[in-house]
Structure 1
Amino acid sequence: MLNYKLREDFMRGVTIYFLVFCAISLGVSSEPYHGTVADFVGINSNVGAYDDQIVGRLAKIAKWMREYHNWNHFEKNDNVYAWDDTTPSGYGTWPFHTKFVQECIKHDINLLICLQGSTEWASATGATDAPPYGSHDGTKEAHYIDKAEFLAQLVARYGDNKVDAGLLETTDKQTGLGYVKYYEDSNEPDYWWHTPLWPGDLYGIHLNAIHDGRNLTTSDSYPLLGIKNADPNAIHVLGGLANYDENYLNGILQAADDRLPFDIINFHHYCTQGWGTQRGICPEHKTYGLKPAVDKWQTWRDKHASGKALWLTEFGWDTYKSSSNASSYVYAGEESQANYLLRSLFLLMGYGIDKGFIFFDKDPDSESTTQYASCGVLTDKKHGLQAKPAYYYLATLQNLLGEYSFVSVDKYGEGDPEVYAYLLQSPNKTTQYCYVLWCRNPGAKYDDGTTIINYQHARPSIQNAMLIEPINQQEYGQGIDVVLENAGTESSVVFIPALSEKPVFLFVEFDQPLSIDYNRIIINDFQMNLFPNPFNAEIRIDYELKTAADTQFEIYNMSGRLIDCIHTGRRQPGQHQQRIDFSEHNLSTGVYIIRMLAGWESRHFKVCYVK
């Protein structure tokens, strides 16, 4: 989206099927996502994040980044590429692109490079937002040869495959850097808000050219053409489509003929009634929310591209309202933005989407009512790149649940108020789980303060429970006291003081793993289990030795400094328990490492201490 545009989404209602625990039926949706939270959440950004020195901050909220890669920026003149940080780019000395990529790698961010727009010299009109077929009509693959060349050079540089230097047109001849695996060929090629349009059949011909150089011939002037010819293992992501249009998709299929010239299906969706309104819609809404759009895309995928992953690479809400109460049609306000983004991520996991990318990293203009101008999780530079509540909510999500795996939808809009509950399992695949819960007013378009007082979460055999809620200005949330009655029995129930539209994280421990296909991990001669995690004072470590061993426990901060070493002596085979009170060490809220040694064996865990 990067360029503002007028957009109006016309959606149809869909039937929502109710859910039962671990047996989910979501309309036409496939199985829920089953990876980790960290591997699901992405953020939209660009090379400016390096210039603004916010890459490290973004890494706290997302481990995937979709980079808008402006073609005219990096090849303003034919065959002069600006990736090496010394070749003049379209805008002077900026962008330091390779340094930007390296900064992302440093912070464990996976990059999806999204090629944005055209160049002036390869454009159909001379404008950078026009189709990239130059003076031609776009009806042949050869009309897109310059874009096929650019993408090949890009992939040859950042992909895994080392390409012969004679095929490289870059100044520094770097190749096979192994930095980037995923490449998106366009951003919203199905635009309708300016001309000339780029119909689906022409876009499909373009896909043939840039995917693997189909019907193109290499030459001295064009030595390398197409993504797959530069790196056969590179993943080609379809340009994010702004709207579901079956005629447009059928045009792509017709042009593709006997194949699908992409690896991942990609779409955008904003929850709104469209132009002329001044408020965005909550993500659960049965007409304007996420589900109707997801259903249509999954239906098309299952019919025409079975087995392909499905990514949603743009969704979000604005936060600015003027003094005269003017706002955009995706406006939600800061608190609702934070709630909607968190809820959307879990809704999408439950629907079976494979990745979700939030739009945007920072506001283009924090005091503009133009759509998408204030949808960042940070303010613009004029306002100091300040973090909004959404930033802290997302940081809390990553810090507490980043390594947890999504298991199932436990409740989907049940009751009045509607309750939503999603189950995740700890990275150790033990008896520790987390329920993400919230409620809302059935049928409401916007959050209205709906709250359930003393909500009862009843599940058999809960042994322990701890509740964390995300709050502004905190990256680990805050603990909320809960009451657990009938612990460890068939009638165990957790009483939550107030369940609201803000998602909360209920960490629980059962007396045995739930009936899903995950088992405890056994490392050589012992296994261990920590609870609660996160915790706000004392953590309990249950462990079982297969043979007798001398044992001790070590606490480290994330810089590797040893904080304490607890010698527990020789322990016999069987089950044991150790309690560690972090409040004795005057530690700040954060992530720490607990290392257990048993004889010659050791095991370490990340734990989250919430002071």
Structure 2
Amino acid sequence: MIKFLHTSTKAILLAATLLTFSQCKKEESLMPLTTAHPKLETLALAEYPIPALPASVPLKNMFGINAFEWDFLENPHDQNNRSVIYEAKMSLIKTFSGVRHYMDWEKLENAEGSFTFNPTNAGGWNYDIIYSRCKQEGMPVVADLKTVPNWLLETYPADQRDNENVPAPYGAYLPDPASYYKQALVAFQFAARYGSNTAVDPWQVKVNTTPRWTNDPVNEKKIGLGLVKYIECDNERDKWWKGPATKQTAEEYAANMSAFYDGHKGTMGANAGVKTADPNMLVVMGGIATCDTMYVQRMINWCKTNRGYRADGSVNLCFDVINYHYYSSEGRVNPFVQGYKGIAPELSMAGEVADAFVRLGKAYGLPVWVTEAGYDVNQGSWQKVPPVGSKSVLLTQADWVLRTSLLYARHGIQSLYHYLLFDANDGDPTQYATSGLNDPTKRRPAADYILQTKNLMGDYSFVKNISKNPMVDQYTNGIKTMYVLVVPDQKDRKATYKLDLGKGSYTASIYKPKPGANTMTKTTGLAIGGKLTVTVTETPMFIQSNQ
């Protein structure tokens, strides 16, 4: 049912084809912005450290994946056992460099004030096990706390209940951070448990230790496990396709994030907000669907007015990472033009949109992430990837997914998470239902290509673009250099290119992705006068001088 709901949500969204970007119950008491939550004293909180932007970003940062808890724990041969990692699925998850975990609030707090993590009272999932394994595998987790729990949803009239409603009680004044107090509480509990701060006051940490039935494992209070570095505040809060109850303005979402971030600068008490529990956990704004840089700028403007400035003169922002979603399609944004199929990333607005967000991020010293991108393989979808030339749909998907990673590295995005680990609903022509990079029991070519590229040059960083047609990029890792070449088209075009490897280069290693394999094919090319002539195709190739 959870899977079905998520699939339906993505289906209703006409995402990349409906994007716009700029130049580019119980009644809750309502309070003005400057008022603290009732019965709670304002805390004097230190300014949180702002991490400096890295000088370079490794290519492996472009190989994240979106996934659910059942992808780790649901064993079809032992469906009632959710306390052990299902290794067959884990072997596929390890293809990627990081995981964005779609995490429903209901799982953590299925009854108000009753927090469970391992196992969760809703579903019986064991988050400690998932996060521990991800850390063991060197895969950072972005925990995306999304949707609203049933107990909060019940404050809404029956005909206005949607689990993607704004995370505040019905009737709350949405421009006020205090309206999001309940979400700030669960954010604190999550950060206290999975963050790196071992000095959280134990009295503020709550877990429900009551077993659900005889011999049921009970939750234990744990602090500062150091398993999760990133937490995301909801998902696509600018959604317009479900009606007013599910959409927030930029100012409303900024107020929401201010509560989530640090309990609106500590005014909500010692148990509200991520930073209150762990100043080192980084808060990612929920990926926005509209690709509107002005939406983010308005959030920043709200922070200037309602959060002020830090001692160094920078804006006291309520997020550490800018985040948006973009699905490359033939549709256009600003002005909107409907699209009916996916297109190669270089032919879409992906680069233009990325440039707009990266410019904004640099202005405020913020990294920019893209946490959803992908293509459907079902040919009835509006986000379908077509066969190109003699290549099958799956091979074209592989080309375009890898090229999406290369594009975002080229344009300065610092992390990319592909949608999705597995098909949300296999065989369904609904948009986003068949975006999986894996089949249920094996990698698709898209995952093959990611694994091979990660293993070959995951630690290399983009340096510069040398040619645009064909596309030739230079990457380095210390003193080592790698060149990536691809024809940025979707008509099975080929191009001859003479790559200058420098004087003294006589041979070069040429790597090409291979479907169904763990490593690329490798051949040796002869350089004449330091120059190597190659035929470039729409599948990326990788060249390294043997000098």
TM-score by length of 2: 0.78
- Whether the aligned pair in 2 keeps the contact of 1:118 and 1:130 (CA below 8 Å) is yes
Match of 2:149 in 1: 119
Distance 1:130 1:468, change over 3 A: same
Match of 2:166 in 1: 131
- Whether the aligned pair in 2 keeps the contact of 1:469 and 1:478 (CA below 8 Å) is yes
- 1:141 counterpart = 2:177: yes
* Aligned pairs (5 A) from 1:170-185: 170-171=207-208, 172-185=220-233
User: 2-side partners of 1:356 and 1:217: how far apart?
Assistant: 34
- 1:34 counterpart = 2:26: no
Distance 1:14 1:242, change over 3 A: closer
- Whether the aligned pair in 2 keeps the contact of 1:12 and 1:292 (CA below 8 Å) is no
What percent identity do the matched residue pairs reach?
24
Which structure has the higher relative contact order (CA within 8 Å, separation 6+)?
2
- 1:203 counterpart = 2:253: yes
Question: Could you report, residue by residue, the CA deviation over 1:550-601 in whole angstroms, capped at 9, with x for unpaired residues?
Answer: xxxxxxxxxxxxxxxxxxxxxxxxxxxxxxxxxxxxxxxxxxxxxxxxxxxx
* Aligned pairs (5 A) from 1:291-370: 291-303=351-363, 306-321=364-379, 326-332=380-386, 333-370=393-430
User: 1-side partners of 2:20 and 2:319: how far apart?
Assistant: 26
- Whether the aligned pair in 1 keeps the contact of 2:287 and 2:324 (CA below 8 Å) is yes
Match of 1:494 in 2: 532
Match of 1:6 in 2: 13
Match of 1:224 in 2: 271
User: 1-side partners of 2:177 and 2:128: how far apart?
Assistant: 30
Describe the SS at the equivalent of 2:324.
strand
User: 2-side partners of 1:297 and 1:424: how far apart?
Assistant: 23
One-letter amino acid of the counterpart of residue 284, structure 2:
V
User: 2-side partners of 1:242 and 1:167: how far apart?
Assistant: 35
Distance 1:307 1:218, change over 3 A: closer
User: 2-side partners of 1:158 and 1:32: how far apart?
Assistant: 24
Structure 2 unpaired stretches of 5+: 1-5, 25-52, 75-85, 209-219, 309-315, 332-336, 387-392
Describe the SS at the equivalent of 1:456.
strand
Q: 1:421 aligns with which of 472, 478, 493?
A: 472
Question: Could you report, residue by residue, the CA deviation over 1:324-370 in whole angstroms, capped at 9, with x for unpaired residues?
Answer: xx333343431121111111212211111111111111111221111
* Aligned pairs (5 A) from 1:130-529: 130-135=165-170, 136-162=172-198, 163-171=200-208, 172-195=220-243, 196=245, 197-214=247-264, 224-256=271-303, 257=305, 258=308, 259-274=316-331, 277-285=339-347, 288-303=348-363, 306-321=364-379, 326-332=380-386, 333-379=393-439, 384-411=440-467, 413=468, 418-426=469-477, 429-430=478-479, 432-441=480-489, 447-452=490-495, 455-461=497-503, 462-485=505-528, 491-496=529-534, 498-510=535-547
Distance 1:368 1:205, change over 3 A: same
Count of aligned pairs between the two proteins: 456
One-letter amino acid of the counterpart of residue 399, structure 2:
N
User: 2-side partners of 1:243 and 1:32: how far apart?
Assistant: 27
Shift of 1:11: 6.3
User: 1-side partners of 2:225 and 2:531: how far apart?
Assistant: 53
Describe the SS at the equivalent of 1:177.
coil
Larger Rg: 1
User: 2-side partners of 1:359 and 1:82: how far apart?
Assistant: 27
Match of 2:133 in 1: 103
User: 1-side partners of 2:299 and 2:324: how far apart?
Assistant: 14
Describe the SS at the equivalent of 2:207.
coil
One-letter amino acid of the counterpart of residue 9, structure 1:
L
RMSD: 2.5
User: 2-side partners of 1:484 and 1:250: how far apart?
Assistant: 50
- Whether the aligned pair in 2 keeps the contact of 1:339 and 1:501 (CA below 8 Å) is yes
Distance 1:504 1:32, change over 3 A: farther
Which of the pair is proportionally richer in strand? 1
Shift of 1:475: 1.2
- Whether the aligned pair in 2 keeps the contact of 1:59 and 1:109 (CA below 8 Å) is no
Match of 2:66 in 1: 44
Distance 1:14 1:191, change over 3 A: closer
